[in-house]
Amino acid sequence: MTDNPTKGRFIAFEGGEGAGKSTQANLLADALKAKGHLVDITREPGGTPGAEAIRSILLDPPEGSAWGSQAEALLFAAARSDHVAKRIRPAIASGTWVVCDRFVDSSRAYQGGAGALGDEAITALHRFGSAGLRPDLTILIEVSADRAEQRLFERDAGEADAIEGRGAAYHARVAASFRALAEADPVGFAIVDGNASPGQVHKAILAVIEERLGVQLA
C-alpha cells in the first residue's frame, strides 16, 4: 500500500555552494522510492538535453569571457523553461514526485540578489518562461561559510566553476538573499540547518515534509 497522489509533488532544494543540496536530494529520493512513490530527481541548470547544454556554457564559459548578471539570468531562465516544459510538468502530471537540486529561487538569490538585478526582473522572466511554476515546498539548507568551504574543497579538490569561484562577499550576499526569500515566504519555504551530519539533516528534512505535506516517510 502506498499513499501516492494522482498528481505528483514538486520539492526543490536551495542553498549556497557546499550546502549539501545534492546529497539531501538523493537521500529524499531514496526515501520516497522506499515508500512506493514514483520519483524523478533532477537539477538546475539542466535536466533536459537543451538545458544541460546551457549549463555547460554557464558554468564553463568560453575562455576570456564571463557572463554578466543579465546574460546569466536570461540563460538560466531559458534552461528552466525547457526543463519545466519537457520534464517537470509532465512528471508532476503523471503522479511523479520531482526532486530538484535548485530552481527559480537560486536565480532570485544569485542574479536577483547578489547580482543586483532585483527580484522583479527574475520573477518576470520566470512568469514568461515557465508560467511562474512554484514547488510545493522549497527546502533551504543553510550552512556556515567555513563548513561550505570545507565541503567544496573535499568535493572538488580546489577546482571551482564560474559561479563557485566568486569571492566570499558575493556568496555572503547569496546567503543573505536566500534567507530573505525564505523569511518572506514561510509557507513556501522550510529552512533546515545543514551543519549536522548528512543523516541528521535528512531526518530533519523528512520531518519537515511530513509536517508540511502530510506524507509519511519515516
DSSP string computed for 89-130: HHHHHTTPEEEEE--HHHHIIIIIIIT---HHHHHHHHHHHH
What is the architecture of the domain spanning 10-213?
3-Layer(aba) Sandwich (3.40)
Region 124-142: mean pLDDT is 98
- Do 179 and 114 meet the contact criterion of CB atoms below 8 Å apart? no
Residue ranges per structural domain of the chain: 10-213
By the 8 A CB rule, do 81 and 89 touch? no
| Tens digits of residue pLDDT in 67-109 | 888 999 999 999 999 999 999 999 999 999 999 999 999 999 9
Residues 6+ apart with CB under 8 A from 207: 218
Average confidence (pLDDT) over 141-145: 90
Residue 11, beta-bridge partner list: 99, 137
Residue 10 phi/psi, 5° resolution?
Answer: -130, 115
pLDDT for res 5 = 45
Percentage of the residues of the chain whose pLDDT score is greater than 70: 90
pTM score, whole prediction: 0.90
Q: What is the helix, strand, coil percentage profile of the chain, to 5?
A: 55, 10, 35
